[in-house]
Structure 1
């Protein structure tokens, strides 16, 4: 059975940064490392998609490079800034699906370690923990039932 984690594009970096701060050992730490790498790969795709969305909105010189003024790219049509922002927000809300079947045993160890995590989490870290645990539970709780 294929195992996946689904996060919004905007959550890829925060989840990766959160994972990097955790105190984990052994197989759980290796699972974290594998997940961070997969998050980085998805974030690279997201950044490439962002550039594809942004590029048509900006002026380009005769060499195809974006024109800048005051350290900012110049919009072809200044009235289209809101359209660009809406497209970027929509892209940030799109789901990034990470398939991890081949790392299932390491991710299971990560899930078990996070489930038993004894350190206090607050604010954004608590929210990210909950988001990640929901996704991991979707894969591993079914195995226990």
Structure 2
């Protein structure tokens, strides 16, 4: 059976960053590393899709180049199209990013087992990321338990 985790595109970075803060050993650490790589690949797809979606809304200079914003890497949107651009980006942010991890199932189970009763406390963004991650891991591994019955 295929095993997957499903997050919103906008949640990927927070979950990846959270995973990087955990102190894990052995197989659980390897599961984390595999999951971070899978999340990173999905995030790269998401970033590229955002760029492509924003392209028609970006203000251009006389040479046809993007007009850069005040912060590095930012761009200026065409004023009349800002609402459309924001709606398009919001839609992409809320799309599902499905991460298939069947081949790493054993390592992901070890990760799940290691963090289900993690000894440290989480707050703010880490607590939210932990909750999102655990919801998905619980779903993946509780279904496995039910099928074994």
Regarding TM over 0.5, the answer is yes
- When structure 1 is superposed on structure 2, of 23-32 and 53-62 the one drifting more is 53-62
Equivalent position of 1:112 in the other structure: 113
1:134 aligns with 2:132: no
1:12 aligns with 2:19: no
Offset at 1:143?
A: 2.0
Compared CA separation, residues 113 and 58, structure 1 to 2 (3 A)? same
Q: Take 1:102 and 1:62, find their aligned partners in 2: how far apart are those partners? A: 51
TM-score w.r.t. structure 1 length? 0.91
Offset at 1:61?
A: 5.1
- When structure 1 is superposed on structure 2, of 133-142 and 52-61 the one drifting more is 52-61
Compared CA separation, residues 70 and 35, structure 1 to 2 (3 A)? closer
Deviations 1:41-69 (A, max 9, x none): 00000000000111011234576531336
Q: Take 1:70 and 1:135, find their aligned partners in 2: how far apart are those partners? A: 38
Q: Take 2:67 and 2:144, find their aligned partners in 1: how far apart are those partners? A: 54
Q: Take 1:121 and 1:69, find their aligned partners in 2: how far apart are those partners? A: 35
> Secondary structure of 2:27's match?
helix
1:21 aligns with 2:21: yes
Offset at 1:116?
A: 2.3
Equivalent position of 2:80 in the other structure: 79
> Secondary structure of 1:136's match?
helix
5 Å-filtered alignment, 1:47-66, equals: 47-60=47-60, 64-66=64-66
- 4+ residue runs of structure 1 moved beyond 4 angstroms? 61-64, 69-72
Q: Take 1:30 and 1:64, find their aligned partners in 2: how far apart are those partners? A: 46
- Let me know the Cα RMSD of the aligned residues: 1.7
TM-score w.r.t. structure 2 length? 0.89
Q: Which runs of 5+ in 1 are unaligned?
A: none
Equivalent position of 1:96 in the other structure: 97
